[in-house]
Amino acid sequence: MELSLIIPHIEALIFASEKPLAISDVVEMLNSAMGFIEDRATPEQVEAGVNAISEKYDSEFYSFGLVESGGGWQFLTKKEYHKTIAQLNGDKFLKKLSVASIETLSIIAYKQPVTKSEIELIRGVNCDYAVQKLLEKELVVISGRKEDAVGKPLIYSTSKNFMDYFGINSADDLPKIKEILNQEIIEATKINSKENNDREEDEKEEGNSEIISEEIKNEEANGFLEKA
């Protein structure tokens, strides 16, 4: 099948989809829609088509682009226009997760699959409300039960919406804890260095002020002696 023939169809499918579309999904839909054509689309052709579309929308002329996230491809507005499109939904669009929800979500993301009691053991507080909110926002899902634990408690994992929300394709794409800690150390060093430099500048200015003040006093004393 000619690539130029299927590219518009690939673009239309991804544009119309409410969720990210995997290459395999696009191949199946294309071949289903074009069933009357003997020459069927292949995953390689669809992938080449997706790359061509992605390259097209990388241009600064477009306010949106084709992004791979959540296990598939979707059109998303570029980050430069976030504040502009936020006007559509006001505060609701800009509403962020609470600190408790972020902490709980982080534990689930890095420890999944994990039980509620394991989350609470790490956080040191009850997490019923935070977990419920994350379930309502569809950022986490109940992925089963821990069969070898007493009472077979529910276990939680991140959802496809989570991957879509954070622009990743799997939990493996999450930043490593070590990388985050190293970055925090670097930032702390930068801040401390700036504070030390500011302190040194202040001390230097104070020292210069004292010297100038002393010189003024000497000049005034000399002037007084000359008059005398």
pLDDT > 80? residue 134: yes
pLDDT at residue 224, rounded to an integer: 42
In this structure, the answer to whether residues 19 and 60 fall within a common structural domain is: yes
pLDDT at residue 207, rounded to an integer: 56
Domain boundary (133, 148, 173) is at 173
Mean pLDDT lowest among 116-120, 211-215, 222-226: 222-226
In this structure, the answer to whether residues 183 and 219 fall within a common structural domain is: yes
In this structure, the answer to whether residues 165 and 109 fall within a common structural domain is: yes
Range(s) of the domain holding residue 101: 96-173
pLDDT at residue 71, rounded to an integer: 81
Domain CATH code at residue 105: 1.10.10.10
State how many domains the chain has: 3
In this structure, the answer to whether residues 162 and 187 fall within a common structural domain is: no
pTM value surpassing 0.75: no
Write out the E strands in 78-202: 114-115, 140-145, 154-158
In this structure, the answer to whether residues 71 and 109 fall within a common structural domain is: no
Question: Does residue 89 lie in a domain region?
Answer: no
Question: Does residue 10 lie in a domain region?
Answer: yes
Question: Does residue 123 lie in a domain region?
Answer: yes
5, two tokens: 């023939």
Question: Does residue 91 lie in a domain region?
Answer: no
Domain boundary (173, 198, 216) is at 173
Confidence band for 135, pLDDT divided at 50, 70 and 90: very high
In this structure, the answer to whether residues 47 and 101 fall within a common structural domain is: no
Tell me the pLDDT tens digit for each residue of 41-85: 899 999 999 999 999 999 989 999 999 887 899 998 888 888 888
In this structure, the answer to whether residues 15 and 76 fall within a common structural domain is: yes
Tell me how many degrees the CA angle 35-37-40 measures, rounded to the nearest 5.
80
In this structure, the answer to whether residues 100 and 164 fall within a common structural domain is: yes
Question: Does residue 185 lie in a domain region?
Answer: yes
Tell me the pLDDT tens digit for each residue of 137-166: 889 999 999 999 888 999 999 998 888 777
Measured CA distances, 207 to 21, 196, 197, 200, 214 (Å): 66, 16, 15, 10, 11
Q: Assign 65 to helix, strand or coil.
A: strand
In this structure, the answer to whether residues 14 and 76 fall within a common structural domain is: yes
Q: What distance lies between CA 21 and its chain's CA centroid?
A: 20
Question: Does residue 61 lie in a domain region?
Answer: yes
Question: Does residue 88 lie in a domain region?
Answer: no
Confidence band for 186, pLDDT divided at 50, 70 and 90: low
In this structure, the answer to whether residues 74 and 23 fall within a common structural domain is: yes
